[in-house]
Amino acid sequence: MSSETARVEAFSDGVFAIAITLLILNLKVPSGSAGHLGKALAAQWPTYAAFLLSFAFIGIMWMNHHRLFNHIRRSDNGLLFLNLLLLLGITVVPFPTALLAAHYGTPDRTVAAGVFNGTYVVLAVFFNVLWHHAVRAGLLDTATHESADAISRQYSIGPIAYLACLGLTWVSVPASLILNIGLAVFFAIPARVATGRRMHP
């Protein structure tokens, strides 16, 4: 961790930790008559699924943020602002998670899934803006330029792919969520592997 970006990374880690912890608040102890606890717990499966998905998604975004700052060695005012913008998006994630869980079994599930998927479109844009600012402003460790190029290629897919995912919401909510999961797996993979490029020694 560079001393110049240490405070940015430490603050960001705290925000990620709080956001991922807040997801558990969506899990409620069900109420109901005696003898029906099992059925009540089973009925909450959308909440469990949404919790696990968003926990994984925030975890993957934290991994990507960590990977970015393995290359970002300097900071400027633009980086500080854009990092805060990204963290704003991260803190919003518990809300669309709760919304999707609450409305998945209702006629409003398309709208709820649209908000959920739309959140990740915005986050993909924020990640790209932050990264490209760091590249253009010369804030990277120049010794890792090939890995940085791989990140740029991987991230360029994000906004378009998540927009496709958002559009798919109005065709099939389950399919849009499956695509969203696939994209999360793609971004969990290190960029040089995901883009099929090998690092030169």
Burial bucket for residue 99 (CB in 10 Å: 0-12, 13-18, 19+): buried
What is the rounded CA–CA span in Å between residue 20 and residue 62?
10
CB atoms within 10 A of CB 37: 13
Q: Which one is predicted more confidently, 104 or 27? A: 104
pLDDT per residue as tens digits for the range 5-52: 899 999 999 999 999 998 888 777 777 667 678 888 888 888 888 888
The pTM of the full predicted model, rounded to 2 decimals, is: 0.85
57: pLDDT strictly greater than 60 = yes
What does the pLDDT read at residue 43? 82
Q: What's the full length of the chain, in residues?
A: 201
For residue 36, give the 3-state DSSP assignment: coil
Structure tokens at 197: 């490029």
Q: Which one is predicted more confidently, 4 or 56? A: 56
pLDDT per residue as tens digits for the range 64-100: 999 999 899 899 999 999 999 999 999 999 899 889 8
